[in-house]
Structure 1
């Protein structure tokens, strides 16, 4: 018969305890607020880049701008979107003069997508403003609190 160590007993007791259940409920509620705020920030940021820019287009544009270039296949894989959705968003981004498309030199069937200078400028301004707001929050935390938050986010990303 396997012997159960003290740490395992404490851990198994803690998982079902009312304190842990309450803490998990609070964490889920806080995560819901973060996700709702993130969706709101995406809408606000998209509108700041261009009044007609949709959130899906904003996400694609920010990825392309950070990566330097991308193609529709990469975007579909990265964002788990149907290729038809990607095509519509790319077309919209081109119409808004936020994205340029050219044939891939290695594979003429593919198009290389690049953010326009106008898009890069607008995205940099949005990032700068958000960075300032984020820094104000971070400045109130200790290094240990930042490390603990980072650990939680990393672990949650693996769920």
Structure 2
């Protein structure tokens, strides 16, 4: 089991990574005209296919109202489409469009280039170890979330 001091250092390190990513995103090369989190929404729809707003919110660990706010500009720009759910006409199904898939691909390529440049002196094994650690961390944090939810 890790110590409280190590856990605090990990939290600080994760916050620094997030701040660094946001700073890079402010650069014109990666500047987004979409709301924060929209790329995660597009990525989920591209990877997993058409689904209801509530399911998307659950998968992205956010409130459904957050997804509603993100979907509106994605629909306006033609990156996402909504259609009635054939099983429940009151609900809608969201899917990424061809334009949305192209946008997502270009976005992911830009970020992959940036990360590859930043990690140019890393060994492939080190990067794979980090990926594994981050996936494990995500799984474990999601598991503990149920313990702290009121």
> TM-score w.r.t. structure 1 length?
0.66
Q: 1:102 aligns with which of 66, 79, 83?
A: 83
Compute the RMSD of aligned alpha carbons: 3.1
Bigger Cα Rg: 1
Deviations 1:74-107 (A, max 9, x none): 0121233333332232223212222111112233
Where do 5+ consecutive residues of structure 2 fail to align?
A: 142-150
Task: Indicate the structure with greater strand content.
Answer: 2
Q: Is the 8 A contact 1:46 1:54 kept in 2?
A: no
CA apart distance, 1:139: 4.9
CA apart distance, 1:124: 0.5
Partners of 1:61 and 1:108 lie apart in 2 by 23
Partners of 1:63 and 1:15 lie apart in 2 by 34
Partners of 2:134 and 2:65 lie apart in 1 by 32
CA apart distance, 1:72: 0.7
CA apart distance, 1:123: 1.1
Where do 5+ consecutive residues of structure 1 fail to align?
A: 1-10
* C-alpha spacing 1:154/1:43, structure 2 compared with 1 (3 Å): same
Displaced runs of 4 or more, over 6 A: none
> Which residues of 2 match residues 40-119 of structure 1 at below 5 A?
40=23, 45=30, 47=32, 51=33, 53-119=34-100
Partners of 1:83 and 1:25 lie apart in 2 by 30
* C-alpha spacing 1:150/1:108, structure 2 compared with 1 (3 Å): same
Q: What does residue 38 of structure 1 align with?
A: 21
| Secondary structure of residue in 1 paired with 2:13 | helix
